[in-house]
Chains A and B, each alone.
Chain A
């Protein structure tokens, strides 16, 4: 079976939904980060899939965008984890339900 664009889009949509679900439902800040990473991965997959199935992909644009996105995601994860650690040191918890200091 040759994979079609639809297959990739379905996989990426599934990945996105799983990531969103994780980000919305988990209470642990690190799991929320993981969920966000999964959504990013889904977006990357879309980039590559659209690039791959478009007329002759001479230049690896889609892959390059994905690579940049991965690099940025890595930086984001580093910042996010540092934030989680800082928050943990301050509040002694990473449960986002309890982190509501910004309440209006």
Chain B
């Protein structure tokens, strides 16, 4: 099966080619565009399944194909593709979720006038993301990394006529670029130290002993610089601000890019270059990993808190994504790489499900996104409700039947055994409670209670939209089969160990702990929000129960802890002042200098004029008359059309060439 590796490049190439073809289609050929995109995705899925099958045959397979890109003097730059369990699992998840979302988009975007462009961008994103996953070179990964960034920019700003969408796209692009600057510096530094950017190269790659030995202490700094990029892409504090705004894009985009795949690329990147982070570890702890843990903890808790006070259905999910990505980072940081990646995969399925469910709700409510205006949709949209509830329970981490429960349990397990501090473990428990709380709040607001304004004319979505929901809901449930501690198949697959079936391991203390915290979260949620949509005592219906009880705290959270305002007043204000200063320098200082020199010239000119007029004028007059006659003749050739000039130059050059050829 290792022949698959030779064709690995086709997995990203097919969707990219599909995207190019769709871009060349006219706007009216909507069916062709959708069909092409879906076919490209199906081919990529089939190839990914083949690649996945290849990794199943050989446990711990790591097959690489490297090639030389170019030779510069005596330096060669090599790129390559790698197939290992990490890449194969990501490939399978991305293509499967991607396919569901492509199909869903056919229904969701049915009335959009730029339908074909949407599918071109979506295919382009899919290809770039798949390329990112199989890259065996940090440079190649960086190239695809920037391409997914571009796709994200194009898709967030897809409704470019909406100023908020254009602003969000710009914000996303610039914020991630700040992280990518660090990433690129890390790449350069790594190349400078180890002389290679290949991950695996028969013992000489930068992640293998040959390369790591050359890094020494600089590995920590390189890892931290690379983490800057990962933090930007994965919306980690303090670069998380772009992700909630990215919800301005169409909902399928939020599902595919800003929930399931692209934002997970940061987590994937950390997992991919994990040897850099863990090199020189004492007892599994390095300073770079410690930074990852604390950034992750901060992000997870902060985002979960903010999510409680949001009103936009997609924004709640966006903050939940930020929070879950923080959780994954914590898991990677404490050494639970397999647990983090398992959560990434499970999260990909159920978060895509939740976003598509939200899309279905928004579609059904005719574009309304405010959860306070919904309510009672349970009866009108049964399919959406059931699948959404499954996604909600998977995200909250309800144990036993839902994939998210098992992976969260594993992450908590890994966090509890971190030797440096126990604080992340307790903070993560708090995060799990908060997750269950805000999801309960959202589901009560949207699906229970009385029908409010936007729910009056709501309708269930068409089959082309509900089928992907059902497929993803089934994935969210049945994915847990390979996650249980009784048969930890996925864990074994990712780490390359043999797997045993042992029913006794199902009942470990962590199961009861997570049952208790999730139960607490949901219970508290139901207790607080049981009458959320209806007026209660002297609380009007539009006021959140929490807002009623704690207005100050609620405002703090609803305003996203004023982080955006803080950035506006500090970093953005600073660069604005710099810009104003440069403008002032240009306008007054340099301009003044130039004007000063001009004045000197003027004075000099006046002096010479008087000399000229009195002295030499008359004698020259005759000459000028002649020259003017000649000039009039010549000016006919000066039409003012630059293209005529250019053409004359071209003809002159041609004539010179011919002359040269004739003489030689």
Interface residues of chain A, those whose CB is within 8 Å of chain B, are 20, 23-25, 32, 57-60, 63, 96-97, 99-104
Contact = CB atoms under 8 A, between A and B. Distances in A.
- Name the residue in A32, A57, A102 with the highest tally of chain B Cβ atoms < 10 Å from its Cβ: A102
A103 B646 CA distance: 15
Contacts of A103: 635, 638-640
A67 B572 CA distance: 34
A99 B635 CA distance: 17
21 contacts: A20-B650, A23-B646, A24-B643, A24-B650, A57-B73, A58-B73, A60-B72, A60-B73, A63-B72, A96-B641, A96-B642, A99-B640, A99-B642, A100-B639, A100-B640, A100-B641, A103-B638, A104-B634, A104-B635, A104-B636, A104-B638
- Name the residue in B636, B640, B650 with the highest tally of chain A Cβ atoms < 10 Å from its Cβ: B640
A96 B647 CA distance: 14
Contacts of A97: 641
B638 A24 contact: no
B637 interface: yes
Interface in B607-657: 631, 634-643, 646-647, 650
Interface in B372-404: none
Contacts of B638: 102-104
Contacts, number: 42
Contacts of B646: 23-24
A104 B638 CA distance: 5
Contacts of B74: 58
- Name the residue in B73, B634, B637 with the highest tally of chain A Cβ atoms < 10 Å from its Cβ: B73
A91 B354 CA distance: 52
Contacts of B636: 104
Contacts of B641: 96-97, 100
A58 B75 CA distance: 11
Given A23-B646, A24-B650, A102 B640 contact: yes
A95 to B, nearest CB: 11
B633 to A, nearest CB: 10
A101 B640 contact: yes
A104 B643 contact: no
B399 to A, nearest CB: 57
- Name the residue in B635, B636, B642 with the highest tally of chain A Cβ atoms < 10 Å from its Cβ: B642
Given A20-B650, A23-B643, A96-B642, A104 B73 contact: no
Nearest to B642: A96
Interface of B: 72-74, 631, 634-643, 646-647, 650
A100 B118 CA distance: 42
A104 B640 contact: yes
B640 A59 contact: no
A103 to B, nearest CB: 3
B627 to A, nearest CB: 13
B647 A24 contact: yes
A104 B637 contact: yes
B391 to A, nearest CB: 48
A3 to B, nearest CB: 14
A25 B644 CA distance: 10
A90 B307 CA distance: 50
B308 to A, nearest CB: 47
Contacts of B73: 57-60, 63
A50 B434 CA distance: 66
Given A58-B74, A104-B631, A104-B637, 8 more contacts: A23-B646, A24-B647, A58-B73, A60-B73, A96-B643, A99-B640, A100-B641, A104-B638
Nearest to B645: A102
A97 B642 CA distance: 8
Nearest to A97: B641
Contacts of A20: 650
B234 to A, nearest CB: 32
A104 B650 CA distance: 21
Nearest to B644: A24
Nearest to B634: A104
A100 B646 CA distance: 14
Nearest to B70: A63
B422 to A, nearest CB: 54
A103 B639 CA distance: 5
Contacts of A59: 73
B586 to A, nearest CB: 13
Contacts of A102: 638, 640
A58 B635 CA distance: 52
Contacts of A32: 642-643
Contacts of B643: 23-25, 32, 96
A47 B94 CA distance: 43
B634 to A, nearest CB: 7
A32 B638 CA distance: 19
Contacts of A63: 72-73
A30 to B, nearest CB: 14
Contacts of A24: 643, 646-647, 650
A7 B641 CA distance: 35
A76 to B, nearest CB: 15
A75 to B, nearest CB: 18
A59 B72 CA distance: 9
A49 to B, nearest CB: 14
A102 B637 CA distance: 12
A59 B639 CA distance: 47
